[in-house]
Structure 1
């Protein structure tokens, strides 16, 4: 088999896969190498919400590009995309003010959103508690996916259009040559490429430990859970609530955000554990609920532990029950995800010997921002901006 490529992408999660997708679409010969039999990291351990509405202006633009990409692929091949929209539900006057300000910002950015009254929210979202909701902001263009299925289906689609995918292959050596790069895996396979993009934090740590130690990467541990299937119940879109309004980057651009944040209790449990409450109905009728954020440096991620903190789960559940009266809150599944991100920048990027590009640390922006960001990054790496 010919193991020579224009581009090799290391890391089969959503960030690496969309880099490969855009390179293939540019007519390049591309391989994707993933160390596990199938992705195990943040790509499959998240809500599956594609919500540009929660991002700052820069990343909202990437997210909106991602929406178009997801929808375009879905027309050709089922990757579980459902265009059901997202709603932010305010629980008090301050959060209503932030929704109104974001709606105004959206108008200037030509991003569709719709303010809903408390009554409209109650009419549209069964089980929503009257004493919680004060208003809502709905984003009709946003989508959700089933992350554990989506990435596998996306890989299948990409194989169909010419991508070579090697699963269960760990790259141990990545050597820049006079022209191009040579890779060797633990199975003693050798690959060559004009360029390499490393999109997996674990591979980055193995291949370039010194750069990894010097990086400002931190890891966030997020706890989530999934109810049993909700009998005869339909949640019509993804739901983000008051704590999300107080956390997401898009709201930091609202004029009143800073003054509202100064009034918050710095010693609250939601601050201690980085909790905000999200609801998403999966394709089996269950509801996914979360999540929390605990942090450690990427080099010391073992400090976050391997166990679920049941105090956090119980807190999330108690807060969720204040918002929705679901048919059942019986939990069938609990898990945590690990997301790497940077302290000072919005994504980690480093180029080594011109042809090796490390791109990781996208944090919680991965499912929403990767497709749009990867399109621009492939254009930049291969000097295709004006092609």
Structure 2
């Protein structure tokens, strides 16, 4: 038995759990965060590495803007790999250009800063962008890129140094039960940790602890494939470059008046629709370029059906499409990987209360890196009855 009783125990050290801990600590609560691996290995480190409120609906754009402010505030105090280099959406034709203009008007009404770019401005700003592809662009200067494989570890270091975060990696939780108004959390080693409240932010831990709730949930898992080129030498790509297929996919564009008509013309049997492919580019700090991504889905209880092998047809298609958009000095690939994230079919995020003091918060989907920091602030207020 660990004799200390914490105000809050968080199970899962990924970005969603970490920002729940961050906001609880900032409000003066004592927090213990338990992570089953030596470091997070899931969606937190296997994503594209961008914070893009521009891609979200109005509710989550608000959370995303709050996240931007939080990331930038932390970056001023401690380097967590945040770079404010903006996001651009590149239209490849008149239909996509129409959607950019409509989203720009929506952003104007909501006071979210963006700028329409002409074809000439895009070609000047983004070296290697092909004239044959580019029609126009929409630029979001406030948005940032992240190095996901290093950010979470640096964020933990910052929180331990500045907020006295208690963090235990390599700790697998196998049971929780409420005793006399508190929650006892039992690890696989038999250690018992106590807290007034517990938040479970890891889908895999949720599956282990409450398998019936997990299997009966409306969670589904998305498998994404991404690639990383070798370093591009002196070539520099400014910020995140999102392209026509992204315009046709991201949630924010569903608010545009022309969206439904434009979508109705698409070939649902095309390769990109079958595998949910849209083409994004982001240059990492080592000079390499990340290219993505694809989406394959299965109900959470059937995650094994997705497999862990990479579909090389998807990778080959993404490279072929990327070459139509930007002339990189090299398309030699040094890394390929798949990421997995859970999301709800019918809700923005999965939230469930077990008993009086155990809360499950997971299934944030592809909104994790962008929305977690802002969403967790509201979530902590609700859970801690603030």
The alignment's TM-score, normalised by the length of structure 1, stands at: 0.98
Partner of residue 371, structure 2? 369
Partner of residue 129, structure 1? 130
3-state DSSP of counterpart to 2:231? coil
Q: Show the 5 A alignment for 1:57-136.
A: 57-136=58-137
Separation (CA, whole Å) in 1 of partners of 2:23 and 2:299: 31
Q: Deviations over 1:55-91 (max 9, x none)?
A: 0000000000000000000011110000000000000
- Matched-pair contact (CA < 8 Å) for 2:308–2:338: no
Partner of residue 378, structure 1? 380
Partner of residue 322, structure 2? 320
Separation (CA, whole Å) in 1 of partners of 2:45 and 2:308: 17
Please state how far the C-alpha of 1:178 moved relative to its aligned partner: 2.8
Separation (CA, whole Å) in 2 of partners of 1:116 and 1:42: 32
Alignment length (residue pairs): 384
Q: Deviations over 1:253-273 (max 9, x none)?
A: 001101110000010000000
Please state how far the C-alpha of 1:17 moved relative to its aligned partner: 0.2
Separation (CA, whole Å) in 2 of partners of 1:178 and 1:299: 33
Partner of residue 231, structure 1? 233
Partner of residue 164, structure 2? 162
3-state DSSP of counterpart to 1:341? strand
Q: Deviations over 1:170-222 (max 9, x none)?
A: 01111022312101101111100000000000100010011001101100000
Separation (CA, whole Å) in 2 of partners of 1:172 and 1:305: 25
Q: Deviations over 1:251-306 (max 9, x none)?
A: 00001101110000010000000000000000000000010000011111010111
Q: Deviations over 1:299-342 (max 9, x none)?
A: 11010111000000000000000000000000000000001001
3-state DSSP of counterpart to 2:269? coil
Q: Show the 5 A alignment for 1:160-199.
A: 160=161, 161-199=163-201
- Matched-pair contact (CA < 8 Å) for 1:3–1:190: no
- Matched-pair contact (CA < 8 Å) for 1:85–1:141: yes
Structure 1 spans left out of the alignment, 5+ residues? none
Partner residue of 2:267 out of 265, 268, 273: 265
Please state how far the C-alpha of 1:2 moved relative to its aligned partner: 4.4
- Matched-pair contact (CA < 8 Å) for 1:222–1:292: yes
Q: Deviations over 1:157-181 (max 9, x none)?
A: 1111211000000011110223121
Does structure 1 residue 18 correspond to structure 2 residue 19? yes
Structure 2 spans left out of the alignment, 5+ residues? none
3-state DSSP of counterpart to 2:70? helix
Does structure 1 residue 42 correspond to structure 2 residue 38? no
Q: Deviations over 1:93-126 (max 9, x none)?
A: 0000000000000011100000000000000000
- Structure 1's consecutive aligned runs of 4 or more residues displaced over 4 angstroms after TM superposition are none
Q: Show the 5 A alignment for 1:235-314.
A: 235-314=237-316
- Matched-pair contact (CA < 8 Å) for 1:51–1:86: yes
Q: What RMSD, in angstroms, separates the aligned Cα atoms of the two structures?
A: 0.7
- Matched-pair contact (CA < 8 Å) for 2:115–2:140: yes
Partner of residue 30, structure 1? 31
Separation (CA, whole Å) in 2 of partners of 1:3 and 1:306: 40
Partner of residue 343, structure 1? 345
Partner of residue 152, structure 2? 151
Separation (CA, whole Å) in 2 of partners of 1:305 and 1:118: 41
Separation (CA, whole Å) in 2 of partners of 1:311 and 1:185: 42
Please state how far the C-alpha of 1:380 moved relative to its aligned partner: 1.0
Separation (CA, whole Å) in 2 of partners of 1:113 and 1:3: 49
3-state DSSP of counterpart to 2:142? coil
Please state how far the C-alpha of 1:4 moved relative to its aligned partner: 1.6
Please state how far the C-alpha of 1:231 moved relative to its aligned partner: 1.4
